[in-house]
């Protein structure tokens, strides 16, 4: 019989490594957000913001979410890890509500593109725009455009119908760092 591993939640050294990793990823997320804000080119903005969202999501997975299949040893360890982190640092804030949905849309982007490409509607699209007004997506006499990626005037990063506020990610990362120091 295989021995079941147990997460060492009483070892300060181990939990401190997780703390350091979470802080590092939060700092990287903040750096990508800053670089996206400063970028002159819209495609570069999208690249930087996409990286920020992916790193922010990796913080959430460390603290909260268990991505391994149910009933597996990896899932059990991940749940124990998340519980140990929350017990050690109970004031870690929750991520923006829609972060996971946006990250999933980015992760499975090709599926939405396939759906768009094979639709009966006109294949008009809008991509990599900053501060674009979303009420401009209907083109009279032609049809509706599909918005792939967009940053609206409120600072929302929109991906295929899902959005997350970039300032909310920034604020969350700052609060995560503060809660761990």
Type and span of the H or E element at 104: helix 99-107
Does 1 fall in a domain?
A: no
Rounded percentage of the chain residues whose pLDDT exceeds 70: 84
Rounded Cα distance, 54 and 52, in Å: 5
Note whether residue 4 is domain-resident: no
pLDDT classification of 49: cutoffs 50, 70, 90: very high
Is residue 138 over pLDDT 70?
no
Encode pLDDT of 64-85 as tens digits: 877 788 888 888 888 899 999 9
Q: Report if residue 2 sits inside a domain.
A: no
- pLDDT value at 135 more than 60: no
- Look up the domain containing 80 and give its range: 12-180
Alpha carbon 152 to chain centroid, angstroms: 17
pTM over 0.95: no
Domain count, the chain: 1
């Amino acid at each position: 019989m295989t021995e079941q591993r147990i997460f060492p939640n009483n070892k300060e050294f181990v939990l401190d490594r997780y703390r350091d990793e979470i802080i590092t990823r939060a700092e990287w997320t903040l750096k990508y957000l800053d670089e996206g804000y400063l970028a002159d080119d819209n495609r570069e903005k999208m690249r930087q913001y996409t990286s920020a969202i992916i790193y922010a999501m990796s913080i959430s997975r460390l603290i909260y979410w268990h991505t391994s299949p149910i009933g597996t040893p990896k899932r059990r360890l991940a749940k124990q890890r998340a519980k140990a982190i929350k017990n050690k640092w109970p004031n870690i804030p929750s991520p923006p509500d829609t972060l996971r949905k946006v990250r999933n849309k980015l992760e499975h982007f090709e599926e939405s593109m396939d759906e768009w490409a094979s639709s009966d509607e006109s294949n008009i699209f809008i991509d990599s725009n900053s501060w674009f007004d979303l009420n401009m997506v209907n083109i009279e006499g032609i049809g509706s455009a599909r918005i792939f990626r967009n940053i609206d005037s409120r600072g929302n990063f929109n991906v295929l119908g899902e959005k997350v506020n970039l300032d909310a990610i920034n604020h969350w990362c700052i609060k995560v760092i503060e809660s761990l120091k």
